[in-house]
């Protein structure tokens, strides 16, 4: 075989390098000033914690400040609208949750934008299961037993709802629809008040975020029956999925980053690559694991498809349940 000369080898390696590049180039010189990270929820929650962890990692990567700006209200829609109306230059981004998919339908008449059209997907950062928990006074030791009790005792059980229109609310409604049961939904102003009501025995069951549920389960204050992910959760390996019992039951909470629509593909690609790198860091993975968060990742296109699927799925639950915004 004729040996390749240096020029031929260089051409081969250059071609391989080009094939490995993304389909569009990264933005040169971005960012060259502070980036505002809008979190549409109050400080201290799972969204806020993740945003601060990732902002610190991105700050170290770029040697620029990533400043978290909490703008709570209207189930995340106030903060989202701020980003929609910001310049599409990559210096204002949104860190939001599955609430965006829910409110695309639930708050359609109130919000002044379309999440599917007016935001540019950047990357899915993580997901976390909701955990179906019951008060120890409830006799059910499994989701099957809880369903059986609810069917024999219509409307006797009380379910805590963290916030109207939240994933907790929609999970409870999906449970009602797929299991064919009835219960009284009791709304609270957040996950912490709902959990307090659970622990005190004020309500019988709750679809709780993993971060809030874990210490109460460990302390024996509540009993865990199942998780809402499509497959068993690494955070709760001993718990079955409701999806195995009620096919189609998926109601995990997920978190993602968006930019205003019209943001250049180069800037979106740069953000996607840098956030993906941050998600792979040992520091982020350790902190996420501690809070029962599963790192995600993927392309902007994959996040866009995910948002569309979730919006359509929750729209069906809202329609069947005749749920209206509170």
- What average pLDDT does range 87-115 have in this prediction? 92
Q: How far is CA 37 from CA 29, 96, 126, 298, 324, in A?
A: 19, 10, 16, 20, 30
Structure tokens at 25: 């180039």
In the prediction, which pLDDT does 227 show?
Answer: 97
CB contact at 8 A, 146 and 224: no
pLDDT of residue 26: 65
pLDDT at 290: 84
Taking the whole predicted model, whether its pTM rises above 0.95 is answered as no
Beta bridge partners of 15: none
> Residue 41: its pLDDT value, please?
86
Which pLDDT belongs to residue 324?
82
C-alpha span between 92 and 142 (Å, rounded): 45
- What pLDDT sits at residue 102? 93
Q: Report the greatest alpha carbon distance in the chain.
A: 83
pLDDT for 25 equals 59
Strands 205-209 and 158-161: parallel
Residue 205 pLDDT: 97
- For residue 17, pLDDT beyond 70: no
**Structure tokens belonging to residue 164:** 């109207």
User: Are 35-128+253-321 and 130-245 the same fold in CATH?
Assistant: yes
Q: What distance in Å separates the CA atoms of residue 143 and residue 205, rounded to the nearest whole number?
A: 11
pLDDT digits 0-9 by tens, 282-295: 989 988 888 888 89
Q: How confident is the model at residue 112 (pLDDT cuts 50, 70, 90)?
A: confident
Query: In terms of CATH, what superfamily is 35-128+253-321?
Result: Bordetella uptake gene, domain 1 (3.40.190.150)
Domain ranges of the chain: 35-128+253-321, 130-245
User: How far is 239 from 284, CA to CA, in rounded Å?
Assistant: 25
CATH topology of domain 130-245: D-Maltodextrin-Binding Protein; domain 2 (3.40.190)
**What are the tens digits of pLDDT across the range 244-270?**
999 999 999 999 999 999 999 999 999
Query: Taking all residues of the chain, what is their mean pLDDT, rounded to a whole number?
Result: 89
pLDDT value of residue 10: 38
């Amino acid at each position: 075989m004729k040996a390749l000369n240096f020029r031929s080898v260089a051409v081969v390696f250059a071609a391989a390098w080009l094939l490995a590049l993304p389909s569009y180039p990264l933005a040169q010189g971005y960012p060259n000033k502070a980036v505002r990270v809008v979190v549409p929820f109050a400080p201290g929650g799972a969204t806020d914690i993740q945003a601060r962890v990732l902002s610190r990692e991105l700050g170290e990567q770029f040697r620029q400040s990533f400043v978290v700006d909490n703008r709570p209200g209207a189930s995340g829609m106030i903060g989202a609208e701020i980003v929609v109306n910001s310049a599409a230059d990559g210096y204002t981004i949104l860190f939001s949750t599955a609430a965006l998919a829910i409110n695309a339908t639930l708050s359609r008449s109130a919000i002044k934008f379309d999440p599917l059209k007016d935001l540019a997907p950047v990357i899915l950062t993580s997901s976390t299961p909701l955990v179906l928990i019951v008060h120890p006074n409830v006799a059910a030791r499994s989701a099957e037993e809880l369903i059986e009790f609810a069917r024999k005792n219509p409307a006797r059980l009380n379910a805590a709802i963290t916030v109207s229109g939240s994933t907790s609310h929609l999970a409870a409604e999906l449970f009602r629809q797929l299991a064919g049961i009835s219960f009284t939904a009791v709304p609270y102003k957040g996950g912490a008040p709902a959990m307090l009501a659970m622990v005190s025995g004020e309500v019988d069951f709750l679809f709780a975020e993993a971060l809030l549920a874990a210490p109460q389960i460990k302390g024996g204050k509540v009993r865990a029956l199942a998780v809402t992910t499509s497959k068993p959760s690494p955070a709760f390996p001993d718990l079955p999925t409701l999806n195995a019992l009620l096919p189609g039951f998926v109601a995990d909470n997920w978190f993602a980053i968006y930019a205003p629509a019209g943001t250049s593909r180069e800037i979106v690609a740069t953000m996607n690559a840098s956030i993906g790198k941050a998600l792979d860091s040992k520091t982020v993975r350790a902190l996420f694991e501690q809070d029962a968060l599963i790192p995600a990742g993927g392309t902007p296109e994959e996040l866009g498809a995910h948002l569309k699927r979730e919006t359509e799925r929750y729209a069906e639950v809202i329609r069947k349940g005749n749920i209206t915004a509170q």
